[in-house]
Amino acid sequence: MEIAEDYGLYVIEDCAEAHGAEFMGKKVGSFGHVACFSFYANKVITTGEGGMCLTNDDELADKIRILKNHGMRPERRYWHEVVGFNYRMTNLQAAIGVAQLNKINRLIQRKREIARIYAEELEDIPGITLHPEMPWAKCVYWLYSILINPRDYGRSRDQLMTYLAKHGVETRHFFYPLHEMPPFKTKKKYPTSTYLSRHGISLPSGPKIDDEDIKYVCSLIRKLSYS
């Protein structure tokens, strides 16, 4: 924010998966000029699909409302001064979102409890880097994710995913790096994002998962490491 202020820049916070997370004791989404949250089905709270933009800037808020409604002026129906989009949330989705918001603290508490169990069960297995939480942050653990070092673990990330799938456990690998995607492909190297993409795995962590199911997943991870 200091850099943005020095250079007259806007800051847009990507909070898609961070509902309720904190930085230095302050909620994410309260720093930038605009903050964007996702309500897709697997997020911390959901309306099934869609999202929300937050801003303290009245002018930006008005512009967002116009753009989401086909660019139509609110005071002159069917008059379009700009090219807009159909990004409107339905009343039904909004009602679901309000109900979800009422229980967000309980959902986050459960997410953090899931993370604690995973950390306790996996902490002594060689070749696994656990999901960190920095001292200056409060993580909501949208997903509980780990890194697999095949040299120390004895198996690759993909071998672990295949093994877990055979035992009825669904996982997902990390996102592909942006610089490897066709629209943004570049010859520049980004070794950190590449490493994370190749070695990261997200484990089952929906709020309704049972503690025993978490321990079962961890037992499989441990078994493969020592087999």
> What average pLDDT does range 182-207 have in this prediction?
96
Question: In this predicted model, what pLDDT tens digit does every residue of 144-162 receive, in sequence order?
Answer: 999 999 999 999 999 999 9
- What is the reported pTM? 0.91
Predicted local distance difference test score (pLDDT) of residue 226: 87
On the question of pLDDT at 120 being above 90, the answer is yes
pLDDT at 19: 97
Q: Which two tokens stand for residue 165?
A: 């799938």
Q: 27: which 2 tokens?
A: 């909620």
Contact (CB, 8 A) for 225 and 121: no
What are 86-110's pLDDT values in tens digits? 999 999 999 999 999 999 999 999 9
Q: Please compute Rg for the chain using Cα positions.
A: 21
Residue 46 pLDDT more than 90? yes
Which residue type does 55 have?
A: T
Cα–Cα nearest to 224, from 110, 171, 148, 143:
148
> What mean pLDDT value characterizes the chain?
96
Report how far residue 168's alpha carbon sits from residue 32's, in angstroms, rounded to the nearest whole number. Answer: 42
Q: How far apart are CA 186 and CA 188, in angstroms?
A: 5
Residue 177 CA to residue 190 CA, distance in Å, equals: 9
Distances (CA, A) of 20 to 133, 156, 226: 14, 33, 38
pLDDT score, position 218: 98
Q: Which of 202, 220, 117 is nearest to 157 (CA)?
A: 202
Q: What percentage of the chain exceeds 70 in pLDDT?
A: 100
Look at residue 227 in the predicted model and tell me its pLDDT: 82
* Residue range 73-89: mean pLDDT, rounded: 93
pLDDT at residue 97 in the model:
95
Q: What is the pLDDT of residues 10-31, one digit of tens each?
A: 999 999 999 999 999 999 999 9
Cα(52)–Cα(35) distance, rounded to whole angstroms?
Answer: 8
Domains and CATH numbers, the chain: 2-102 (3.40.640.10), 107-226 (3.90.1150.10)
Question: In this predicted model, which residue has the larger pLDDT, 81 or 173?
Answer: 173
pLDDT, mean of residues 33-59: 95
- CB hemisphere CA count around 163 (13 angstroms): 17
